Structure formats: structure tokens, C-alpha cells
Amino acid sequence: MAKKKQEEQPAGSPAWMATFSDLMNLLLCFFVLLFSMSSIDEKKWEEVAASFSSTFSVLPGGATAIGEGVLLSRGVSQLNQLDNYINETGKAAEDIEEAQDILAEVEAQKMAASEALEEQVSEALSEAGMDDLVELDYTSQYVQLTLNGALLFDSGSATLSESAHAVLDQVGMILERYAGSTIEIEGHTDSVPQHSAQFPSNNELSDARALAVFYYLIENTNLDPAEIKHSGRGEYIPVADNSTAEGRALNRRVEIKIYNSMSQY
């Protein structure tokens, strides 16, 4: 018996598929037309958008933007806030500039206070005939009196010499008259090492010299000890070259700083 020959399928998509595709296109066009003719509740739309934004955010905790979130996560919808962001940033820059101006003004006032104090101390030293014995300098924080160590102490000693008494008496009267706040006494040495039993190093020697001046002022003036600080700085802050005898003589010194009334010390 002869086998029935199978019919070959026509090429291309089945006819029903083309009809179905046309129907779907027509339905899509119909719904787009309906949507274009409808009105959208803007408030509800924003609520839905915010819900999606907080749910699917890539930032921790559902955040909508980095930092305060004004420019990044919601894209185009936040561009209308760009002017506010720029204005706020500009205002912050103005605040910083204003603060810098205020600080500069305060610094200028402190410098003026130190300059006025320096003039008063300089006049008092001139009246006492001590211009050549005491060197003056000042910063915005204090006026500094530098006493040559050779006037106060013998070499390697922290005991005040007889000639030191007259100098410190005059300095004490100036401090009583003009020191309205903190006084700081600093002892300094040259770089020649100390190895005595009393002073194993220059640190101990400078400490002892500052303390000797402190005790003399406390015993011979009405200064408040609570307002006076003393410290030894050793050989670490030279003002001259330690390789020469003249430089070492300048480095062996005692500095007395009178802080002005505007200083923060």
C-alpha cells in the first residue's frame, strides 16, 4: 500500500499570528488615546513617584540623594531646585568670608593692644635707665622682655647675682603696673652641655633659672602667683649662633612675656 505524502507547511508565520498582532497594536493605540485624553491627579502621581523612589533607591535606608539630597537621585525633577542650591552655597561662602574678616579684625585689635602695651613698657624702661639691659618685642598675644642671662646668673649657676636684684626690682614694678593678665617666665640656655650633680642637663638649668626669677618676683612684688607661669626651655630655642661666644651669650637668657588683655592665654 502506498504511503500518504505529508503536506509541506507554508513558509512564514501562521495567519492567525498576524491577525493577533494587528489586534494588539489597535488595542495599544486605543489605550494611548484614552490616556492622552484623561487628566492626572498631580498629588497622587507625586506620592506614587516618591514611593518608588524610596523603595528602589540605591542609597542606604531608602535615601533619595547624597547628603541633603537636592541634586542627584531624582534627576530632572530636581533641576528646578538648582538655583536654590547655588544660592545657599553662595551664602555659605559669604558667611565664611565674613568670618575671616571678623577674625582678621580681632587679630588687628590684639596687635594694636600689644603695640600700645609695648610703648608703655618701653617708656617705663627708659625712665628707669634700662634701655640697654632689657630687649623688647611683641606679638598679637604678648609683650616680651628679654633679660641677658649674664646680668642675672654666673655661668652654670641658677643663683641670682647681686646685680640682678636691681634689674628685677625695676622689672617687677613694670609688671605690677602693666600686667593685667598672665605673665610667663621662660629660662633658656646655650648648647654647652651640663653634667653637674645639681644640673644634669640644660633642661634642669633653664628650669632652675626661670624658677629663681619667679621666686624673686613673688617675694618682692605684689604680683599674684596664680597669674605667673614659669618653664625651662633648655637649649632648644636659640636666638643666635651657638658656635660663637657672642651667640651663646645671647642664648643664655630669661624671657618674661606679658600677655595683653585680649589674648586667649
Q: Which helix (H) or strand (E) holds 255?
A: strand 253-259
Counting every residue written for the chain, the total comes to: 265
pLDDT tens profile 223-245? 999 999 999 999 999 999 999 99
Q: Say if residue 63 is exposed, middle or buried (CB neighbours under 10 Å; 0-12, 13-18, 19+).
A: middle
Our CA dihedral for 110, 139, 113, 125, rounded to 10 degrees, sits at 170
The CATH number assigned to the domain with range 107-259 reads: 3.30.1330.60
At residue 145, the pLDDT reads: 97
What is the average per-residue pLDDT within 50-56? 56
- pLDDT category at 36 given cuts 50, 70, 90 is low
- Rg of the chain, C-alpha, whole Å: 43
Cell of 134: 632689657
What whole-number percentage of the chain has pLDDT above 90? 47
User: 138 or 17: whose pLDDT is higher?
Assistant: 138
User: 181 or 93: whose pLDDT is higher?
Assistant: 181
What is the average per-residue pLDDT within 204-229? 96
What whole-number percentage of the chain has pLDDT above 70? 71
- pLDDT category at 22 given cuts 50, 70, 90 is confident
Instruction: Decide: helix, strand or coil at residue 239.
Output: coil
Supply the mean pLDDT for the chain: 81
User: 32 or 207: whose pLDDT is higher?
Assistant: 207
- pLDDT category at 102 given cuts 50, 70, 90 is confident
DSSP designation for 61: G
- pLDDT category at 59 given cuts 50, 70, 90 is very low
pLDDT tens profile 246-258? 999 899 999 999 9
At residue 8, the pLDDT reads: 60
For residue 104, pLDDT beyond 90:
no
What is the average per-residue pLDDT within 17-39? 74
At residue 143, the pLDDT reads: 96
4-8, 121-125, 202-206: range with lowest mean pLDDT: 4-8
At residue 6, the pLDDT reads: 57
Cα 35 to the center of its chain, rounded Å? 60
Cell of 186: 621662660
For residue 132, pLDDT beyond 60:
yes
pLDDT tens profile 155-206? 888 999 988 999 999 999 999 998 878 999 999 999 999 989 999 999 999 9
Q: β-strands 142-148, 253-259: how paired?
A: antiparallel
Instruction: Decide: helix, strand or coil at residue 199.
Output: coil
